[in-house]
C-alpha cells in the first residue's frame, strides 16, 4: 500500500496527506483503479519514424519572436526560419480614403429602404488598402555526410521541454541533432553530436525564394559564421512576380531589412569556408546559434530609413549570450519554458494507443480507434504553441502563430479579427498562460491608436474602430480596395470584440490597477465608437451597416445579401462591451454617470430573437441562410465567447442556441469545429463537445498536429485547447463550475491541475466514473468563491454549506465561502 501511495504522490503531488479521513481513502482507491489505464500523466512527445515529407509534417519550435520548422532529414536537414516582425510594407496610411465618410448616410438610407444592392455598392467605396503580409526569414540547410544506410531513425518534439530532436544511426555511428528556441537568450540553438569521435561532417548553407546576400566569415580568433541579409517586399501585392529588391538608403520608405546569422559557438572539429557556406569536418559535437533581427523599429516608423540597425541587433543578441555553451543555453531555456508549461497537467483515463508515431496514431484515430492520450496531447500542444508564439514584449500570434514559409501565405498570415485573432487567445487565461496575452493587449493598444484615426477619418466618429484585418503595422481601415465583399471587408466591430480580451484579463487576474490604467480607457474608447455607430430605428438601437461574418442570407423577396441592420452578433458584442464596462466602473468605483448611460443604451439594443425553427435569429429578419452550414456561427457569440446566453441563465435562449448548432451541423473548417467545441461545452453537453473534438482531430489535423483550415491555420489548435478547458471548468457566470461538461469518453477517471477560473482561482480536480472525487482551489486574490458542482462539497477545515439548486433540468449544488489570498483549499465530496 505504501508503495502505491508513494507512486500516487509522485504523480499527484497535491494529493491529500494521510489522516484526512474517508475522502483521502476514496481518492486513493479511485486513483488506484484508474491509474493503470491513464493515458500518461507526463506530456508525451510528438514522435515520428520518418523525416517530414513537407513543411506540414515538420515540427515547430519558437520563443515568441524566433521560430523554426524542423524537418528532421538525416543527410539534408532543413530548418525553415521565422522572425515575428518580418512583414512586408511600412506604417499604415492614416487616411487612405478621404471620401469614405460621405457614403455612410447614403448606405444607411439605402438599407432602411431595403435597397441592399445600392448599400453594397456604396460600402465598397468606403474601403481602403489591404493589410501587409507576414514573411518567411529563410532556410538553413545542413548537409550531413555519412556512410551506410540510415537505421533506428526517430524524430520528436518534446513539448514538456520544447526541444525538437532527430536521431539515427548509420554505419554503426549514432547521430543526434537537437533544436530549441531560447526565450531568455533570444537564439535558436542547434546541437549536433556523433557517438563516434570525429564522425560528424556537414556543410551549412542558406536558402530563400527571394534574393538575398550571403557572407561567410571564417576569421581566426572569431567564431565562424554564415550571414544572410535581405529586404522584405514593399507592398502587399499578390502578383506572381515579386517586385525587385531595392537596396537603397534614400529617403523613400521602401521596405524592411533583415539579417540572420548562423554561428558555430562550440566545435571540436575543423571548419573551413565554402563558396556558399561553411564546412565542418571531423567533429563529434558542434553547437550552432542562430541570431536574427529586422530593421522594424515601431509601427509608425519607416522600417528602412527610420529602421533600427538590424546587424547591430543580431550582434547584441550574441553579445548578451556570450560565453554560454550548449549545456548552459539548454538549461536556461528549459527552466524558462517549464515555468509556464508545467503549470497545467491533464491526465485522462481511457484507451491510449500503444506507443506509436503520431502520424500512425492519427491514422488509427481517423479510422475510429479511441486514443485519449492523443486527445490530452493535443490540448497540451495548444499550450506549447502559445508559449512558443506569443511572449511578453512581442507581437500577438498571427493566423499561423509565427510559422510561415511562404512569401504569399494564405490570408496574408495576418491578424483576422472577426474570429481568428481572438480564438488564438481563448486558452491563454484558462490554461494558466496569462502572461502570453501581453502581446495581444499591447497590440490592441496600437490598434486603438490607429483606430482612433480610422474612426474619425472614415466615419467622423469618436473612439476607435478596427475592421476585420490587421497586421504588424496595426492597420485598422476596412480593407478590400474597392473590390472586397462587404461581408468581410466592412465588418466594423473589431474594437468591442477585442475589448473583451482586455476585460477578461482583469476577470481572471483581479488586477484592478491594470483595469484602471490599461483596460478601462481602451474599453471606453471602443464603447464611444459603438455609441456613435449605433443609430435608432423603430425605437431600438441598431447597427447599420451590419454584417454577420461572413454569412449570406436569402431575403424573402428573393435576393441574396450579406449586409443587413443589427445582426445578432453586432448586438451581442456591444451588449458584452457595455456589460463589461458597467461592471468595471463598479469595480473601480468610477465613472458612474457613464455606466448609467450605458445601462440605458444596453436596454435599448435591438433584442435577440428566437426564430421559426427554434433557432437564434442571425439577421434583422428571420431569414434563411444561403449556406445553412456556414463555418461562422457569429450569432452565438452570446454563448461563447460572450456570457449573455447560458442554460443556467436563460434556458429558452440556450435551447435556441442548441437548435442553431444542430442546423449548422458539426462540420466546417478547423477553427469552426474548434469554436463548436466551446459552444457545446457552454451548453453543458460534454458528449457533443467531445464529438466535435474527435472530428477536429480526424478531419482538420495535419500530421504535425497543426490545425488545418485547410491550409494550416493555428486558431483551431488554440480554440480546441480552450474548448477542452471549457469542458472541465467554466467561470463566465462568476461561479466556478467544476466539471461542467465532462464527456463520457473521459468519465472513467482523470485529473487536471492548474486551470484558472475568473475571480483569480487556480483549480485542480480528480474525477472518477463521471463524478468529482476531490479538488483543490487556490485563491490568488482572496475573493469570495461560489462553486457550482453536481455533488455536495466539503472543504477541509471549514464549515460550508452546499445548497441544492435546479437549472435546466439538472441538479446542482452551490457552495460559497470567503477565501484568503494565497491559501489553498482542499475540497472533497462527502
- Cα–Cα distance, 407 to 243 (Å, whole number): 12
Question: Minimal CA–CA distance to 697: which of 377, 280, 302, 346?
Answer: 377
Contact 326, 266 (CB under 8 A): yes
Smallest gap from Cβ 458 to ligand FUC, in A, equals 20
Query: Whose Cβ is closer to ligand FUC: residue 383's or residue 631's?
Result: 631
Report the residue from 416, 457, 585, 606 that binds ligand FUC according to the rule CB under 6 A: 416
**What does the per-residue mask of binding to ligand FUC show for 420-439, with x meaning CB under 6 A?**
x-------------------
The phi, psi pair for 359, rounded to 5°, reads -60, -35
Smallest gap from Cβ 634 to ligand FUC, in A, equals 10
Which of the residues 467 through 486 are near ligand FUC (CB under 6 A)?
none
Query: Whose Cβ is closer to ligand FUC: residue 87's or residue 488's?
Result: 488
**What does the per-residue mask of binding to ligand FUC show for 494-533, with x meaning CB under 6 A?**
----------------------------------------
Integer distance in angstroms from the first to the last C-alpha of the chain? 23
Query: Whose Cβ is closer to ligand FUC: residue 411's or residue 746's?
Result: 411
Q: For strands 785-789 and 736-738, give the pairing.
A: parallel
Other CB atoms closer than 10 Å to residue 198's CB: what's the count?
Answer: 14
Query: Whose Cβ is closer to ligand FUC: residue 186's or residue 713's?
Result: 713
Query: Whose Cβ is closer to ligand FUC: residue 303's or residue 719's?
Result: 719
Task: Produce one character per residue of 474-495: b if its CB has 16 or more CB atoms within 10 Å, e if not.
Answer: bbbbbbbeeebbbbbbbbbbbb
Smallest gap from Cβ 723 to ligand FUC, in A, equals 17
Contact call for residue 551 and ligand FUC (CB under 6 A): no
Question: Minimal CA–CA distance to 533: which of 501, 565, 562, 576?
Answer: 565
Smallest gap from Cβ 391 to ligand FUC, in A, equals 23
Smallest gap from Cβ 711 to ligand FUC, in A, equals 10
Smallest gap from Cβ 422 to ligand FUC, in A, equals 11
Smallest gap from Cβ 87 to ligand FUC, in A, equals 16
Contact call for residue 709 and ligand FUC (CB under 6 A): yes
Query: Whose Cβ is closer to ligand FUC: residue 135's or residue 730's?
Result: 135
Contact call for residue 411 and ligand FUC (CB under 6 A): yes
Contact call for residue 399 and ligand FUC (CB under 6 A): yes
Contact call for residue 550 and ligand FUC (CB under 6 A): yes
Query: Whose Cβ is closer to ligand FUC: residue 383's or residue 630's?
Result: 630
Contact 266, 285 (CB under 8 A): yes
What is the number of the residue whose Cβ is closest to ligand FUC? Answer: 411
Question: Minimal CA–CA distance to 436: which of 464, 476, 401?
Answer: 401
Report the residue from 267, 585, 660, 669 that binds ligand FUC according to the rule CB under 6 A: 669
**What does the per-residue mask of binding to ligand FUC show for 623-642, with x meaning CB under 6 A?**
--------x-----------
Contact call for residue 488 and ligand FUC (CB under 6 A): yes
Contact partners, residue 174, CB within 8 Å, separation at least 6: 152, 167, 168, 194, 195
Contact call for residue 487 and ligand FUC (CB under 6 A): no
Q: Angle CA(792)–CA(797)–CA(803) in degrees, nearest 5?
A: 25
Contact call for residue 287 and ligand FUC (CB under 6 A): no
* Grid cell in block for residue 484: 472586397
Query: Whose Cβ is closer to ligand FUC: residue 193's or residue 669's?
Result: 669
Per-position DSSP letters for 356-383, written without gaps between them: --HHHHHHHHHTT---HHHHHHHHHHHH
* Grid cell in block for residue 517: 490604467
Contact call for residue 205 and ligand FUC (CB under 6 A): no
Whether the ω angle into residue 545 lies within 30 degrees of 0, i.e. cis, is yes
Smallest gap from Cβ 414 to ligand FUC, in A, equals 8
Q: For strands 225-231 and 257-267, give the pairing.
A: antiparallel
- Cα–Cα distance, 195 to 200 (Å, whole number): 9
Largest CA distance in the chain: 84
Query: Whose Cβ is closer to ligand FUC: residue 446's or residue 631's?
Result: 631
Query: Whose Cβ is closer to ligand FUC: residue 135's or residue 420's?
Result: 420
Contact call for residue 712 and ligand FUC (CB under 6 A): no
Would you give the DSSP letter of residue 401?
B
Contact call for residue 547 and ligand FUC (CB under 6 A): no
3-state secondary structure of 722: helix
Tell me the number of residues near ligand FUC by CB under 6 A: 11
- Cα–Cα distance, 506 to 637 (Å, whole number): 20
* Grid cell in block for residue 558: 428573393
Chain positions contacting ligand FUC, by CB under 6 A: 399, 411, 416, 420, 488, 550, 631, 669, 671, 709, 713
Amino acid at each position: 500500500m505504501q508503495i502505491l501511495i508513494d507512486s500516487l504522490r509522485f504523480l499527484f503531488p497535491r494529493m491529500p496527506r494521510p489522516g484526512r479521513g474517508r475522502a483521502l481513502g476514496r481518492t486513493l482507491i479511485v486513483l488506484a483503479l484508474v491509474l493503470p489505464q491513464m493515458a500518461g500523466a507526463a506530456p508525451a512527445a510528438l514522435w515520428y519514424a520518418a523525416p517530414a515529407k513537407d513543411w506540414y509534417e515538420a515540427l515547430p519550435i519558437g520563443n515568441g519572436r524566433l521560430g523554426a520548422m524542423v524537418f528532421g532529414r538525416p543527410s539534408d536537414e532543413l530548418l525553415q526560419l521565422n522572425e515575428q516582425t518580418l512583414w512586408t510594407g511600412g506604417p499604415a496610411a492614416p487616411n487612405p480614403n478621404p471620401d469614405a465618410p460621405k457614403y455612410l448616410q447614403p448606405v444607411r438610407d439605402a438599407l432602411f429602404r431595403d435597397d441592399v444592392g445600392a448599400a453594397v455598392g456604396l460600402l465598397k467605396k468606403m474601403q481602403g488598402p489591404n493589410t501587409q503580409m507576414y514573411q518567411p526569414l529563410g532556410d538553413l540547410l545542413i548537409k550531413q555526410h555519412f556512410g551506410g544506410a540510415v537505421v533506428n531513425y526517430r524524430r520528436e518534439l518534446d513539448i514538456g521541454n520544447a526541444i525538437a530532436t532527430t536521431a539515427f544511426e548509420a554505419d554503426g555511428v549514432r547521430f543526434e541533432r537537437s533544436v530549441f528556441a531560447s526565450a531568455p537568450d533570444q537564439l535558436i540553438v542547434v546541437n549536433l553530436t556523433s557517438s563516434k569521435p570525429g564522425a560528424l561532417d556537414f556543410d551549412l548553407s542558406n536558402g530563400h525564394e527571394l534574393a538575398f546576400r550571403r557572407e561567410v566569415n571564417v576569421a581566426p580568433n572569431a567564431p565562424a559564421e554564415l550571414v544572410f541579409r535581405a529586404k522584405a517586399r514593399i507592398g502587399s501585392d499578390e502578383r506572381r512576380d515579386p517586385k525587385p529588391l531595392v537596396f537603397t538608403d534614400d529617403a523613400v520608405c521602401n521596405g524592411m531589412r533583415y539579417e540572420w546569422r548562423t554561428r558555430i559557438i562550440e566545435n571540436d572539429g575543423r571548419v573551413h569556408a565554402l563558396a556558399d557556406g561553411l564546412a565542418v569536418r571531423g567533429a563529434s559535437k558542434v553547437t550552432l546559434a542562430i541570431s536574427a533581427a529586422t530593421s522594424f523599429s515601431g509601427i509608425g516608423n519607416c522600417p528602412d530609413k527610420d529602421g533600427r540597425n538590424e546587424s547591430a541587433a543580431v550582434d547584441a543578441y550574441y553579445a548578451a549570450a556570450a560565453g554560454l555553451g550548449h549545456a548552459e543555453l539548454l538549461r536556461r531555456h528549459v527552466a524558462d519554458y517549464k515555468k509556464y508549461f508545467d503549470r497545467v497537467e491533464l491526465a485522462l483515463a481511457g484507451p491510449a494507443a500503444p506507443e506509436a508515431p503520431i502520424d500512425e496514431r492519427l491514422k488509427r484515430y481517423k479510422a475510429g480507434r479511441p486514443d485519449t492520450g492523443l486527445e490530452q496531447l493535443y490540448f497540451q500542444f495548444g499550450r506549447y504553441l502559445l508559449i512558443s508564439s506569443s511572449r511578453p514584449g512581442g507581437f500577438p500570434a498571427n493566423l499561423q502563430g509565427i510559422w510561415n514559409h511562404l512569401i504569399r501565405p494564405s490570408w496574408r498570415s495576418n491578424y483576422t479579427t472577426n474570429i481568428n485573432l481572438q480564438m488564438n487567445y481563448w486558452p491563454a487565461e484558462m490554461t494558466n498562460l496569462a502572461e502570453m496575452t501581453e502581446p495581444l493587449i499591447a497590440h490592441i493598444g496600437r490598434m486603438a491608436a490607429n483606430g482612433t484615426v480610422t474612426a474619425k477619418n472614415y466615419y467622423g466618429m469618436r473612439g476607435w474602430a478596427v475592421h476585420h484585418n490587421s497586421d504588424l503595422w496595426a492597420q485598422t481601415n476596412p480593407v478590400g480596395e474597392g473590390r472586397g465583399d462587404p461581408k468581410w471587408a466592412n465588418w466594423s466591430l473589431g474594437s468591442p470584440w477585442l475589448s473583451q480580451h482586455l476585460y477578461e484579463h482583469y476577470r481572471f487576474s483581479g488586477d484592478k490597477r491594470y483595469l484602471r490604467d490599461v483596460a478601462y480607457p481602451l474599453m471606453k474608447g471602443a464603447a464611444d465608437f459603438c455609441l456613435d455607430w449605433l443609430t435608432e430605428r423603430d425605437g431600438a438601437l441598431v447597427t447599420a451597416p451590419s454584417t454577420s461574418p461572413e454569412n449570406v442570407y436569402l431575403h424573402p423577396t428573393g435576393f441574396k445579401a450579406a449586409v443587413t441592420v443589427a445582426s445578432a452578433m453586432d448586438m451581442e458584442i456591444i451588449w458584452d462591451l457595455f456589460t463589461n464596462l458597467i461592471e468595471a466602473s463598479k469595480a473601480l468605483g468610477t465613472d458612474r454617470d457613464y455606466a448609467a448611460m450605458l445601462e440605458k443604451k444596453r436596454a435599448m439594443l435591438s433584442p435577440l430573437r428566437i426564430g421559426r425553427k427554434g433557432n437564434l435569429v442571425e439577421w434583422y429578419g428571420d431569414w434563411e441562410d444561403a449556406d445553412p452550414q456556414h463555418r461562422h456561427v457569429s450569432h452565438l457569440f452570446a454563448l461563447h465567447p460572450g456570457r449573455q446566453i447560458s442554460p443556467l441563465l436563460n434556458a429558452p435562449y440556450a435551447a435556441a442556441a442548441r437548435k442553431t448548432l444542430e442546423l449548422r451541423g458539426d462540420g466546417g473548417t478547423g477553427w469552426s469545429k474548434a469554436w463548436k467545441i466551446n459552444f457545446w461545452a457552454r451548453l453543458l453537453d460534454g458528449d457533443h463537445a467531445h464529438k466535435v473534438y474527435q472530428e477536429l482531430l480526424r478531419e482538420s489535423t495535419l500530421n504535425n498536429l497543426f490545425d488545418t483550415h485547410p491550409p494550416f491555420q493555428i486558431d483551431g489548435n488554440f480554440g480546441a485547447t480552450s474548448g477542452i478547458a471549457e469542458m472541465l471548468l467554466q467561470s463566465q457566470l462568476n461561479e466556478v463550475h467544476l466539471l461542467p461538461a465532462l464527456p463520457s469518453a473521459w468519465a472513467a477517471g482523470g485529473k487536471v491541475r492548474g486551470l484558472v477560473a475568473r475571480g483569480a482561482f487556480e483549480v485542480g480536480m480528480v474525477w472518477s466514473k463521471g463524478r468529482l472525487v476531490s479538488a483543490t482551489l487556490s485563491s490568488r486574490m482572496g475573493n469570495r468563491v461560489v462553486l457550482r458542482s453536481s455533488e455536495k462539497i466539503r472543504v477541509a477545515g471549514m464549515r460550508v454549506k452546499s445548497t441544492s439548486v435546479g437549472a435546466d433540468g439538472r441538479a446542482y449544488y452551490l457552495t460559497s465561502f470567503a477565501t484568503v489570498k494565497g491559501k489553498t483549499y482542499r475540497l472533497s465530496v462527502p
